[in-house]
Amino acid sequence: MKHVTIKDIAKELSVAVSTVSRAFNDKYDIKPETRDRILKKAAEMGYRPNPIARKLVQQRSFNIGIIIPEFENSFFPQVIMGAQEILYQHNYQVLIMQSNESVDLEVRNAKTLVDNMVDGLIISLSGVGNNISYYKELIGKKMPLVFFNRVPENIEASKVVFDDYKWAFFATEHLIHQGFEDILFISGADELILSKNRQRGYDDAHKKHRIPTGKKITCGFSMQDGVQIAENLISKNNIPRAILAANDACAIGMIRVFKDSGFKIPEDIAIVGFSETKMAAHISPTLTSVEQPTYEIGKAAAQLLLEQLQNKGIHIPQTIVLNGRLNVRESSVVLS
Amino acid sequence: MKHVTIKDIAKELSVAVSTVSRAFNDKYDIKPETRDRILKKAAEMGYRPNPIARKLVQQRSFNIGIIIPEFENSFFPQVIMGAQEILYQHNYQVLIMQSNESVDLEVRNAKTLVDNMVDGLIISLSGVGNNISYYKELIGKKMPLVFFNRVPENIEASKVVFDDYKWAFFATEHLIHQGFEDILFISGADELILSKNRQRGYDDAHKKHRIPTGKKITCGFSMQDGVQIAENLISKNNIPRAILAANDACAIGMIRVFKDSGFKIPEDIAIVGFSETKMAAHISPTLTSVEQPTYEIGKAAAQLLLEQLQNKGIHIPQTIVLNGRLNVRESSVVLS
DNA sequence: ATTATTTTCGGAAACGTTTCTGAAAACGTT
DNA sequence: AACGTTTTCAGAAACGTTTCCGAAAATAAT
């Protein structure tokens, strides 16, 4: 893997390396003719600038790191594609790492990325733990950073989140409108703002309609989590009339278990998911779900990051709250 | 973002930088006491080695690049997780890039990764084009490289693939056993070996049972592709009795269109998917699908790469063929 | 023609490591 | 005590760039 370097070009043309360097970054004084001569020769020799060397001296990389908790749901991949679209336009490359829902792996990922001199970081938390203090440290060092979706609470940083309060409220209200009163709330990890906001939405919808709230169960975001909870409910013969699930995967897991045990959805149990995976419209019954604007979340995060990148750390942390939509389908509607 | 460097430690302890460096890579002569002294001081000062500088001099990075065509299906994320598991064990970091099904973006990705001095590359093709010659060049330069799933044909390289021939054969035979004779074959892009192998399997199953083969349509791997083809078939009133789809996404897209147009699955049209996405067991009707061992594909690819890494380019290209399973579900079975 | 100004470029330092070369220090051998 | 070995370290070069500084060449001004 021998590469052509700037020196080879310099020697070939008997100019200084600094001149060759200037030819590539026009910002410096260089005679157009010699620049063209160098550029031509470079192309001829198949020269590609070595980003590693450049990083070392410039202390920047034009790389952005994105850290996500998991790959299983299509949610995060879609957010990434949104972010990529914006960042590519500004000549940033995107490095993706996934933390497998582990806080430790997450900070290890973050550290590798930082060591590799990414110019900025876009992060969705796997959980809350010793990662927070590390992120605070990074922010203290003016590292451009934006959180999305699963964001930390007590940290001064730019964030882009979904309006979980509002849509948990609407989703709950939708179930109430259908006449259900015993609505189980499946929450994501308690420490996430996201969970708290949904909880408030759920509570307030009950308050508005003067109905006592149902139970709450804390759960992860995978199908497996849904399966476990459903099995648990069945074994305890503790079947709610309706369920507001943590996300679609969780909802789908539950539905399968319930169906296998002879329950009818929505006749016996109604259910609403969250995040609108592509599955929602295709499973049986089709799943009512709160749709999140995944691409837009990615784009917004990228844009916030770009701002920070341009202002070199001096910026006011903002939180962008994005709106969604409730896609009503079979799983929550009983015709009476 | 000011970092503690090896020099700072050297100054602090008034030793040479080379000594500090030796302390971190034991392979060199250094007195245990001074090594410990340095290590302790380094930890105290919060030193983290700069991988960029190391890459520059060592000309290697302990990074592996993985390039995939798309993120939409859970297939590739799962393969990645399998590969990660193995590579992490050997202290390699994994950098993921996605090519959006574009051959051009794919080689751009590959070049960035190479420029960033990844030690090896694991690639699934977005298509066949000018990328192939670039990969041949890389292999000529002894860059460790392994292809998986969507692999190129005329290229001497390690590959890990699924036994598409066998399982296309079985899937076709399964449909024939159900009594269907007009079986539409939806192929992936023609240039992929994968497509050719499936075609052979499909053909041979027909031969074995002395049935004339049905039509073939070439298609992409997304749900949208399935939707288009199904709409096309309907508008031309050209409805097959059964379908062997390119993958689950494609099958699901078709199913939705057919159902919306009043066709019954499997009574009017039977269908078999490929790749066993998590959706398969949950859509309505549940989808018969050929299951591929995604994690194992990732693991195998990682292992092949590790071999090359250890043997420094001297290796015999091998092709690992992995086996699968046919999950028979409602979409292909008519009770008569 | 002389000087002042601008344009263009070469030389060298710097980024943070690893690694080569060789020298000093410690030890052993006779 | 003199010499040979081994252990331990310091110094410097190298990796491929960018960028600072200043000098030479070209141009403009007097």
Local structure of B60: helix, strand or coil: coil
Same fold, A59-162+294-322 and A164-292+326-332: yes
pLDDT value for A224: 86
**What does the alpha-carbon distance between residue A61 and residue A59 come to, in Å, rounded to a whole number?**
7
pLDDT value for A82: 95
Residue ranges of chain A with pLDDT lower than 70?
1-2, 312-313, 336
Helices B248-260/B223-235 angle, 10° precision? 40
- Residue B182 is classified by DSSP as -
Neighbour-count burial for B166-176, b at 16+ CB within 10 Å, e otherwise: bbbbbbbbbbb
CATH tag, B6-49? 1.10.260.40
The CATH architecture to which A59-162+294-322 belongs is 3-Layer(aba) Sandwich (3.40)
- With CA of B58 and C1' of each nucleotide, the nearest comes out as C18
CB-CB under 8 Å, A97 with B96: yes
Confirm if A104 and A46 have CB atoms less than 8 A apart.
no
Q: Give yes or no for B133 touching A (CB within 8 A).
A: no
Sequence-ordered list of residues with C-beta below 8 angstroms from that of B145, at least 6 positions apart, any chain: B120, B121, B122, B123, B135, B138, B139, B157, B158, B305, B308
pLDDT in tens, A107-131: 999 998 998 889 999 999 998 899 9
pLDDT value for A311: 81
- Residue B237 is classified by DSSP as T
Instruction: Name the CATH superfamily housing domain A164-292+326-332.
Output: Response regulator (3.40.50.2300)
**Whose CA is closest to A230, among A265, A276, A277, A279?**
A265
- With CA of B25 and C1' of each nucleotide, the nearest comes out as C18
**Sign, CA torsion A194/A197/A202/A205:** negative
CB contacts < 8 A, A to B, total: 104
Confirm if B79 and B149 have CB atoms less than 8 A apart.
yes
CB-CB under 8 Å, B279 with A48: no
**Sign, CA torsion B185/B187/B190/B193:** negative
Q: How long is chain A? A: 336
**Domain positions in chain A:** 6-49, 59-162+294-322, 164-292+326-332
pLDDT value for B79: 95
Q: Give yes or no for A60 touching B (CB within 8 A).
A: no
Local structure of A157: helix, strand or coil: coil
Instruction: Name the CATH superfamily housing domain B62-162+294-322.
Output: Response regulator (3.40.50.2300)
Q: Which two tokens stand for residue A14?
A: 């008997």
Q: Which residues of B touch A278 (CB under 8 A)?
A: 72, 223, 279
Residue ranges of chain B with pLDDT lower than 70?
1-2, 28, 312-313, 336
Nucleotides in chain D near protein beta carbons (<7 Å): 7-20
Which of B255, B278, B285 is closest, CB to CB, to A223? B278
Q: Which residues of B touch A142 (CB under 8 A)?
A: 1
Q: Which amino acid is at B62?
A: F
Which of B93, B142, B284 is closest, CB to CB, to A1? B142
pLDDT in tens, A273-298: 998 887 788 788 889 999 999 999 99
Which residue of chain A has the CA closest to B99? A81
Strand pairing class (A288-291; A325-327): antiparallel
**Whose CA is closest to B194, among B255, B124, B97, B250?**
B124
